Every structure is written in C-alpha cells, then in structure tokens.
Structure 1
Amino acid sequence: ALRDPAVFEAAARAFPPGAAWLELGAAPLSGVLAAGGLDNRWSALVDERGPVATGLVPVGDALTHTNPTLGQGISLALWAACRVARTAHQDPGSVRFAAAYHAWAVRTLKPWFDFQVVADAAIGERFATRAGRGDSARAVAALFECALEDPEVMRARARVRHLVEPPERAYADPRVRARVERWLAARPGYAPHAVGPDREEWERLVYDPDPATSPSTSARS
C-alpha cells in the first residue's frame, strides 16, 4: 500500500517532521522506492582463537552494516579504509596484522555499531508501546527534543551524530545533563513519542485510506 504515492504522502504527513517538510512544497522526483537491508550486522574474520584468514581485512559493509537512520555507514567505511591505507605496509599478510586490525575495529568502530543497535531497539519499543518505560527512557527521549531548543545540548548531539564523541561520554557531560533535566522539569507532562499515529490510525492510513486522497488504493496490498 505504501507504494501508492498518495498513501505514502498521507502516511508521511501523519508525522510532524514529515508534514513540516511537505508543507515547504517538497515534490517527489520518482515513484515510491522501497529501501531494504535495514539491519545491523557486524562481521569479523576473527574468532575466539584469532584470525580465521590473513592477507584479507574487511572494510565498509564487509565489516559492519548499520541501519542508515543515523547515517554512519560511509563514515565508518572511510574510517576503516584510512586505517588500512596507513598500516598496509606493516606486513599485511601476517596474523599479527589481521589481529591488530580487528582489535582496532572493535575498539574504534564497534561502539558506533552498538549505538545503532541500542537506538533502533529503543525507538522500536517506544513506538510499539507509545510511551517510555521509566524515567531513564523519558530522559533519553527528552534529550533529542531538548536539543532542538538548546544549542549546548545540540552541540553534544552533533558530536555524537558526526562520530566525534561516543554518546556515553557526550551525553554524560554534567552541563548537558543539567540542561536536559531543566527542560524536563519545565514540562512535567512530557511523554516520549506522544506525536504521530497510533497503531489503529496507522493501519487506517495505510490500509483503508480516504478514497478522495487515494483513489487507486481501496484494499490491503
């Protein structure tokens, strides 16, 4: 059903960011195109006994593939490529080289892979339950909304989004935490993800659209 342009636009308008974008006069350049492979995958050529291959190191999606929602893929690929370029002269066919590269990747790249996994799980749970479970989930959700109003918090978020500083360090800054806490204190009724369609509304938009706005879609597909 979402391949129908009218249904897709109606669904996009159900989310405030999508509605705001469409109100600017955004026009499609093509039909609705599906995206696939939105999974998170870490692939290592090393097991508990050490490297399983030498003379070969994975880079880009061969090493780690992440859901593109955070836009980390190209950055992680270039990071790995630069590491290989800088060290390729150091006996690249040896077990030592393969082990050192793997250790570097786990230390440098895997935290960002783990961040994507955690972010996806949290977003999925909040949308499924329509609420944050407990104060910590509420604080995490508030951080992102607070960043839209507070430049100090946005700066921390930008450092994470651009892979400059890991979230556990950037968001633990006492100044950032204090600003988010003040933002929450001023909004005692704040509920994470209180915007956007619930399950019933989403199914109506996608599977039972208004014929006036989507004449070509009249049944589930």
Structure 2
Amino acid sequence: MRPSDQNEKKRTPTAIPRTGPRTGPRTGPSQVPSHVVVVGGGVAGLFAALALSRRGNRVTLLEAEALPECASPVEAFELWERRGSPQSRHSHAFLARLHNGIKELAPDLYAELLEAGAQPLPFSDLVRGTFENPELIPEDDEIVLLACRRITLDWVLRRHIEKSTQAQCRNDIKVTGLIADRDEATGLPRVKGVRTQAGSGEVEEIQADLVVDASGRNTPLATWLNEIGSAKLEKDSEGCGIFYCSRFYRILDNVETPSLEGPIGGDLGYLKYAIFMGDSRIFSITLAASPDDAPLRKIRNPDIFQAVAQSLPTTCRWVDSAIAEPITDVYTYANLKNVRRHFIADGQPLALGLYPVGDALLHQNPISGRGCTSAWVTAWLLADAYAENPDDPLAFALAMDQGVNRELVPWYANQIEQDRAARERSEVDVRGEDPFAFQREDGSVDPKAYMRSVLAHGLVPALREDIVVMRAVMRVFNMLEDPRDLMAAPDLLGRVLGVWGRREEREPLRMGPDRGEMIEKIASASP
C-alpha cells in the first residue's frame, strides 16, 4: 500500500476468492445436489450454510442448543443463552469487509439487517467528526462498518436462511462423532457423515458428502479425528493476555443519542475501552485488562464497571443516568487465546470430506473484532473451493488451506504480535515504570520502549491529525489491506515519525486516569 498515491486503486480483499459469485448448483442437471452437514449454528455455521446453499448444495445445519423461537432480535437477546457461543453476549463491531461482502453477495440479507435496526457506520462520517474539511477519496466508500448486536445478526441471519434457502436448520442436536471409512487412493480417513444425539436422547446417523465443523473454539474435532484413525490434529495456541467485560445499555426514551464524534475508545496501557453502537437504541461498553492485574479484575462488579466507565472521557456521557440505563449485568470473557488448528499436515488433510471453519479453525483475540468477518470470508472460500473441486476432496482441502493462508493468516499473525506487545506494556505499567522511556542510562535505546513511544506519541495522535494515516489504519483494521503493508510504507512511516518528532510540542492526550488514579476509583467504588 502506498498512502502517497491516493488515486491508485488499492487491492481490496473480497469474500469471494477469485472466481466471482456462482449461484447455480455445482452438479450437472441430472445429478442430485451434494448434501453438506454443517455442525454448529453460530455465525460461522450460518454463514457456511448460506454460502453453500447459494452454490446449490443441500445443507443441514445442526445446532446443539435448543434455541426457542423468537419474534424479534430483542426477544432473542433476552431468551437465547448461547452457552456454546459466550461472545454473543459481548460487544461487536462488524468490519467493513463483512459489511461490504453482505451488501454485495447477499443484498436481501443486508436489507433485512437494516430493517432490524443495524446501522452502517461510514468512514466519511467518522472523519468529519475528527477533521475539518477532510479530503475524501473514492476508496473511502469501502470503509463502512455495520453496527448491531451479535444476537441481532444471528437472529436475522438464521431467519433469512430458513426462509430464502433450502437449508434445514435443526436445533437441540449434538454431534457425537464422525462416520468414516478409509480412502483407498490416499489412505486417509474419508468422512461420510455424523453421529448425533438429540436432547430427547434419540440417536441418529446423518450421511453427508461434506461435513463442515463450525462448532466453535472449543470444538471436539481432535477427539473426532482420533476416533476415525486420523493423524493428530496439531494446533498453535498462545494466551491473549487479556480479559474483557461488556455491559449493554439502552438510551432513554425522548433522549438524543450522544454523538460519536472523536475517539470511540482508548488504550491506557493497563486498560482498553470502547463504545459499540447496537440496534434498537442499545449500545454496549467494553473494558479490557490483563488477568494478572488483580485490582483491575474487579471491573467484573457492576458498580465498579459503572464507576470506571464514568471516569473515562469517551464513555462518561454515555453512561450518565440522564442518558442511558444499564439493561444487563456485566458479561465477562476470560481465558482468551489465539489458536490456529492445522488441518493440513505434510501437504495432506487429516481427513477427506471434512473441513473446520470459523473459530474451530482459527480464532484470535476478540478485542480485534475479526471473528465474524473471518467466518464470512472462510464460508465463501469453502463454498467456492467445493464448487471448483466437486469430486476431488483432496484438491478441495488444499484449496481451502491456500485460501486461509492468503486471506486470514496475516491478521492472525499480526494479532499475536499485538498481544505480545500489549502484555509487555501492561507488565511495565504494573511495575510502576515509564513504558515509553526508551533512552537507557548507557545511551543505548530500548527498542521495545521506542516502538511503544512511536505508537503512543506518533501513530495515535497522527490518527487525529492526518487523514492519510487514519485511512491506512482503518483499512487494515477493517481487513481491507494486509497488516504487513501498514508500517512498511515509507510515506506512512514518515508521517507517523513526523508527528512523533513533535511530541514535546503537544499537550499530552489524556484518554483517562493513570493506573494509580484508577485503582483509587476502583477502591472507592468497591462494595
């Protein structure tokens, strides 16, 4: 990416990898469409069911939970427990790559989301609240987030699939294992279906041409594979070094929603925070901290959460009792890890006729907001790879692996780097040291402290001073540009270093209390 050449059309990753949309069946006119079983009715499973159905496959989606019928997303928010998807109860901002993909490939679904209260959040609105007379370019129209609650997305998506596709959605059906034999040509296990048990206790075997594991980050895939004689499923796993708490609020009747001008969140080093617009006059606030920071773990308490939100310049007016009221308890999400499962080993899949998607394949720190977008991208990679390799399960699996490495892995690797840096920053804060003091006593430079200083005193203020920098960061954040291109662009780095070089000339931006002040506020609010 070259920020200095703003008129050149940038490469924007799309949800459909190379071949373009294909709506007809993958089989010939005399053939029966393939039957695909999707395990898991969360957003990854729903997106997979949508994409596969649009390709002409017969899809059966199996959801382990007994989800009650709900007449509205508000009712679903109240009644759907989603024990297998705890992130459903937390803040979400759906990235531009997801927004654009739905609008382009499923415009009927997009219209239904807007009807349910989802709101587009265009980059042009954000910059007009930050810059005076900002100079916009055509590519800025690609940067549009979608604001609604996660439960709203799930509810609208499920209803859309049930009424506009041939997919069958079955609740209260738990998959207990795989049906498989041995492929003679490759010697690999060949999955032919799934074994299930209903909530009533009834067991059933469901045959399938393809099984898609969308059962989430706690998938039993490794056990299933072991039971059919597969090689071991290896995975990379690294702690995120963070837990986060979310609480939902409703804007009071006859009260105008506060403006979103300026920053909607901040990073204090010891604490991250953000506001997330939802639907139906509902918004949420998320606070995140290191699980090793004992005083900060108290933000799980509703009174302390409220006190912390009231002390932050961005969130204080939103939680004013004259503006909004809390409508939920504080939801906590902990034990977070960045995980990538390697379904391809030594150039071969662990089994044929099977592939994991969504969090079952790869998941990262949810603070980045990439989960649903990654699930969308994976769903269309899956549908296209299956359409292009209908009778070659080996080629299908390898095509999926190539697509995931190209379209998702760069952001996964980037998140691991960010989390490592954030953990180090938090450790410095807890020790009471200056995290930005990069000049050592012997005259040498601490490279990690130097980079923290450049980011905090260069990149962050540049986001408010330079629309080119903001545009570049927002494109990467929204998964429209490869994160490896961001700071590698000489012009962009020069702009950031220029702002950093003037750091002594600016009043320091105070995005909230320092850690000592916050601990005092927490102590005073403690029951």
TM-score (norm 1): 0.80
Shift of 1:74: 0.9
Letter in 1 for 2:470: M
Q: Please state if 1:103 is matched with 2:402.
A: yes
Higher helix proportion (structure 1 or 2): 1
Q: Which consecutive unaligned segments of at least 5 residues does structure 2 have? A: 1-297, 430-434, 437-447
- Aligned counterpart, 1:137: 452
Letter in 1 for 2:449: G
> 1:137: Cα distance to partner?
2.7
1:63 corresponds to which residue? Answer: 361
Structure showing greater relative contact order (alpha-carbon pairs closer than 8 Å, 6 or more residues apart): 1
Structure 1 residue 116, shift from structure 2 partner: 1.4
Per the TM alignment, residue 27 of structure 1 is displaced from its structure 2 partner at its CA by 3.3
Equivalent positions of 1:113-132 (< 5 A) are 113-130=412-429, 131-132=435-436
Q: CA offset at residue 50 of structure 1?
A: 2.5
1:80 equivalent in structure 2: 378
Figure out how many residues of one structure are paired with residues of the other and give that number: 211
SS in 1 for 2:354: coil
> Which whole-Å CA distance do the structure 1 matches of 2:352 and 2:413 have between them?
26
Q: Which amino acid aligns with 2:502?
A: A
User: Taking structure 2 as the reference length, what is the TM-score of the superposition?
Assistant: 0.36
Corresponding position of 1:169: 485
Change (3 A) 1:11 1:140: same
- Using a 3 Å threshold, how does the CA distance of structure 1 residues 70 and 193 change in structure 2: closer, same or farther? farther
Provide the rounded CA distance (Å) in 1 between the counterparts of 2:422 and 2:310: 19
Paired residues of 1:57 and 1:98 also in contact (CA < 8 A): yes
Provide the identity percentage. Answer: 31
Q: Secondary structure at the match of 2:331?
A: coil
- Most deviating of 42-51 and 70-79: 42-51
Q: Secondary structure at the match of 1:2?
A: helix
Deviation string 1:132-153 (CA, Å, 9 cap, x unpaired) is 4332232233313321332111
Cα distance change on mapping 1:92 and 1:117 into 2, 3 Å: farther
8 Å contact 1:112–1:166 — kept in the other structure?
Answer: yes
| Aligned twin of 1:4 | 301
Q: Residues 53 and 146 from structure 1, CA distance in 2 versus in 1: closer, same or farther, beyond 3 angstroms? A: same
Q: 1:122 to 1:173 in 2, by over 3 A?
A: same
- CA shift, 1:170, in A, is 2.7
CA contact (8 A) 2:317 2:323 kept: no
- 1 or 2, which has the higher strand percentage? 2
Alpha-carbon distance in 2 for matches of 1:20, 1:181 = 33
Question: Structure 1 residue aligned with 2:346, among 40, 48, 51?
Answer: 48
Q: Aligned in 2, Cα 1:13/1:166: closer, same or farther, shift over 3 Å?
A: farther
User: How much is the aligned-residue C-alpha RMSD, in angstroms?
Assistant: 2.9
